[in-house]
Structure 1
Amino acid sequence: MSFFEGLLNNDVFMVCFTAWFIAQLLKVVITFVFEKKIDISRFVGSGGMPSSHSSFVTSLATGVGIKKGYDSVEFALSLVLALIVMYDAAGVRRAVGKQAKILNKMIEDIHAHKKDIFTEKRLKELIGHTPVEVISGAILGIVIANIMI
């Protein structure tokens, strides 16, 4: 069996991919509903509702728990990974996004007074997640894993 055949036959991987895909698709749909525009870049972008990082890692942990048992070392490893990723998404990455917003405003103010001091493009502001986005992504991942496995 080739690498790709093995990956496509791996139930847990397919659950993770599906959870990620649905989360990213929901970002496009939610952007359309609230902003009345289709923004396909939301499908591959980070940040926003729901957290695809959270859905990805919680579907992994749930899938491993279902397949190997919630008392297994594999589940413990995947759960710890999930908790680290979700903490990072709502903590560090969110703080980076807030800092980018402030820096972009500072650069705009500087450009208003003196031109061409900075040549860098705007920093990406939508990087991390709010706690609600992280929890929503986590719930999505758990639900998808329970449906598919």
Structure 2
Amino acid sequence: MQLIYDMLGNTILMASFWGWLIAQVLKTIIYVIVNKNFNPERLMGDGGMPSSHSATVMALVTSTFYHYGAGTFEFAISGVLALIVMHDAMGVRRQAGKQAVVINNMMDWFKELDKDIPTEQRLKEFVGHTPLQVLFGAILGIIVGAVVSSIG
């Protein structure tokens, strides 16, 4: 039980959690507005606006800065982690999503040709982010990190 209290009392961990949660909820709301339908996978899924990965790591960086300062190893570690995560979201993971679209289209084309391709093996297309999605996720994370750190 003490572990749960310790985790809930960890402002840096809570800032990261709230950054992720708020980004996921916003992502779902934006998806509903743009696509006019609710997709429950958006609540937990990757990709979309804003980047929950960026929001999470920037809330971590911001709250670490608030509690430890810019000259500490804690801040350095969280900052480097954030750069890696956000770069990966825009790079490798975004390219994987683009490839998934092409492969899924090929599977549809093979199905039209009456080839035996199981459609339940479709690839997830929402896995990466555009630079704008990463930017807005980062801004959200900074705001959430600052708010949670000033409250806690």
TM-score (norm 2): 0.93
Q: Compute the displacement of 1:70 (Å).
A: 0.8
1 CA distance for matches of 2:40 and 2:78? 30
Unaligned runs of 5+ in 1: none
Alignment of 1:3-14 (within 5 A): 3-14=3-14
Superposed CA RMSD in Å reads 1.2
Q: Compute the displacement of 1:32 (Å).
A: 1.8
1 CA distance for matches of 2:106 and 2:30? 30
Q: Compute the displacement of 1:38 (Å).
A: 2.3
2 CA distance for matches of 1:132 and 1:111? 35
Alignment of 1:15-94 (within 5 A): 15-94=15-94
Unaligned runs of 5+ in 2: none
Matched-pair identity in %? 46
1 CA distance for matches of 2:46 and 2:92? 14
The SS at the match of 2:121 is: coil
Per-residue CA deviations over 1:81-126 (Å, capped at 9, x if unaligned) read 000000001100000000011111112112221321x335211111
Query: What one-letter code is carried by the residue in structure 1 that aligns with 2:95?
Result: A
Q: Compute the displacement of 1:35 (Å).
A: 1.7
**Mean Cα deviation higher: 52-61 or 35-44:** 35-44
TM-score (norm 1): 0.94
Per-residue CA deviations over 1:23-55 (Å, capped at 9, x if unaligned) read 000011111221222222211111000000000
